[in-house]
Amino acid sequence: MAIDYRTDYQAPPLDFALLAENPVEQFLSWFQEAETAGLPEPNAMTVATVSSDGEPSARMLLLKSADSRGFTFYTNYGSAKASDLDSTSRASLVFFWQPMHRQVRVNGAVTRVPREESAEYFATRPRDAQIGAWASRQSSVLGSREQLEQQVAAIEARFAGREIAVPDYWGGYRLVPDRVEFWQGQPSRLHDRALYVVEHGMWTKARLSP
């Protein structure tokens, strides 16, 4: 089957003079615009990792915070992605905000967030999500859906009437960016691209060819 969509991207061009000095600030400004525009789950992002033997892998995750410390997301520390992140300490994030014809790519070094911070965030999650985190050995093979449901029932029984603490195999990762690219779709495929690169703590910006 041939796949043939011919979107001609239309949007105001990227005004380099208006770009923030710091890419996290620029990200937050675009993120707020995506929220204001009512985009569903603007915090959904592709997270690409690579294993110690060079096998790439990408999947969607939800961004939970972005600030001067970096980009934070939560997952199972026993998962395939965690194994990649723990062995290579690198990841690449991609956001695509289609109605705005915008893409953001972020590369950087990744570390686990401190235990207390993961526990604090876990405590804010709905109880069902907390039970799900306990019940799932993410990325491992399951015999059946029933097996998962039995695991959920066992966790519900174990914590009945009690608060649910964060499992030691669940928590956050934080990516500290060293390369961030903002892409603004433009007519005739002549898109605008702004690349931020950090060197000795200083960010520089360059315009890339589309």
Ligand X SMILES: Cc1cc2nc3c(=O)[nH]c(=O)nc-3n(C[C@H](O)[C@H](O)[C@H](O)COP(=O)(O)O)c2cc1C
- Active-site residues, by number, are 189
Q: Which two tokens stand for residue 193?
A: 């691209």
Measured CA angle at 32 (ends 174, 8), to 5 deg: 105
Type and span of the H or E element at 195: strand 192-199
94 makes contact with ligand X (CB under 6 A): no
Query: Is 88 or 138 the residue whose CB approaches ligand X more closely?
Result: 138
Binding residue for ligand X (CB under 6 A) from 80, 135, 152, 197?
Answer: 80
Work out which of 79, 118, 130, 136 binds ligand X, going by CB under 6 A.
79
Give the residue from 49, 57, 174, 77 showing the smallest Cα distance to 133. 77
Interaction between residue 123 and ligand X (CB under 6 A): no
Nearest residue to 167 via CA among 136, 134, 137: 134
Report 124-163 residues binding ligand X (CB under 6 A): 138-139
- Coil, strand or helix at 151: helix
With CB under 6 A as the contact rule, the residue among 9, 28, 51, 59 that binds ligand X is: 59
* Residues forming the site for ligand X (CB under 6 A): 44, 57, 59-62, 73-76, 79-81, 138-139
